[in-house]
Amino acid sequence: MSLNVTSLKAAFGKAFGSGLMQKDLDTEFLVPSKTDAEFNLVPTELTQIRRAKTSVDQVLQAFQAAATPVGIVSIEPRSIDLQDLKYELELDPDEIEDSAVSFFADPDNNDRKSWGITKYVMNVLMIQKGRENFELHEAYKGVKAAIVPGSASALGASFNGLGKKIAEDIVSGAVTPVNGAAAWSTDPVDFVGELETWVEACKATSEINRSIIENMCDKIHMSQALAARFRLGMKLKYNVNYAQVGDPLSLFDTPNLSVSGLPSMSSRNRVFMTFKANRCAYIKRPKSEKDCGISEANPYKPMIYAKFWKALGYWHPEYVFVNQLV
């Protein structure tokens, strides 16, 4: 039974007429995808997005009359593949006909895909839940498993998330972690100090990196628990005297940087820092995610479905700063 109203019928009885209205229905609380927003989700029609990075080495030299050209211009490819995902939910709307939510049924209409319950599940419940599933299980922690034909993939095994990309880039040498504390302190004040030390260690890696961090980077992403620890630590460390920090989530010495807790990174010790233009998220066919298809292979059990593609990542791994903890 894909539509469960057993407890509703037990409590409110059967064939109650229209006992409830849509205004009486509370939706379960769902976590929106903050990671999508922080990574600048953009719609696209492509399944692979391509860019390139141009660079040139030394061009400056002392004058001499002889021609002595220096400098090699490089154009390196960058690409991000979108990964395909789907929603697929089957309903048996007849279950509600003799229940307190029978207003959602339309017995005069045989076309169950136009019943209120079908529209409600499609437009209100499924899409929001899909975004929560993505945020909590796939956006950072997802590791795509091989498809088992005929079986739905498990949560966390449907999409290769940001954590996997970072781990792979560390192994390939594209991302070089900057060692922070061997383990983050649970004392908020100590944690603020450790994060400040880590940012300074990132700056110390090169003058180019120092310039990027001090002028371009805007956020340090981490789990919400670590972000809350940072906020409390800032309050205890700095906001006890006259000169108080206005925003307890921004760093004292590098005020352009602020800490942002992501639900997707829960229970992880990694901290991630880069500039806004380097973070990217794409979605192909957003209309499909919102305007789902309805299949009537079985006229009594409409199946709501939507296929779409998503990507989440960064363009230039050399401008990504992470610590060594996972």
- In the complex, which residues of this chain contact other proteins (CB under 8 A)? 170-171, 173, 176-179, 182, 201-202, 204-205, 324-325
CB 301 within 8 A of CB 87: no
In angstroms, give the least distance from the CB of 205 to other proteins: 5
- How many other β-carbons are positioned within 10 Å of the β-carbon of residue 162? 25
In angstroms, give the least distance from the CB of 264 to other proteins: 22
In angstroms, give the least distance from the CB of 187 to other proteins: 19
Q: Which two tokens stand for residue 134?
A: 């993505």
C-alpha to C-alpha distances, 309 to 43, 61, 116, 121, 180, nearest whole angstrom:
10, 49, 28, 21, 35
In angstroms, give the least distance from the CB of 143 to other proteins: 17
SS3 state at 185: coil
In angstroms, give the least distance from the CB of 146 to other proteins: 25
Q: Using CA atoms, how far apart are residues 12 and 269, in angstroms rounded to an integer?
A: 47
255 Cα distance to chain centroid: 25
124 class by beta-carbon count within 10 Å (0-12 exposed, 13-18 middle, 19+ buried): middle
- How many other β-carbons are positioned within 10 Å of the β-carbon of residue 24? 10
CB 179 within 8 A of CB 223: no
Q: Using CA atoms, how far apart are residues 169 and 171, in angstroms rounded to an integer?
A: 5
Rank residues 202 and 312 by Cβ distance to other proteins and give the closer one: 202
In angstroms, give the least distance from the CB of 123 to other proteins: 46
In angstroms, give the least distance from the CB of 270 to other proteins: 12
Pick left, alpha or beta for residue 15 (phi over 0 → left; psi -120 to 50 → alpha; otherwise beta). left
Rank residues 157 and 201 by Cβ distance to other proteins and give the closer one: 201
In angstroms, give the least distance from the CB of 177 to other proteins: 5
Rank residues 128 and 185 by Cβ distance to other proteins and give the closer one: 185
Rank residues 21 and 326 by Cβ distance to other proteins and give the closer one: 326
Q: Which two tokens stand for residue 117?
A: 């319950």
Exposure string (b/e) for 187-200, b if CB count within 10 Å is 16 or more?
ebbebbebbbebbe
Rank residues 171 and 243 by Cβ distance to other proteins and give the closer one: 171
Q: Which two tokens stand for residue 87?
A: 């929603």
Rank residues 125 and 325 by Cβ distance to other proteins and give the closer one: 325
Sequence-separated (6 or more) residues with CB below 8 Å from residue 90: 2, 301, 302, 303, 304
Rank residues 35 and 274 by Cβ distance to other proteins and give the closer one: 274
Rank residues 104 and 191 by Cβ distance to other proteins and give the closer one: 191
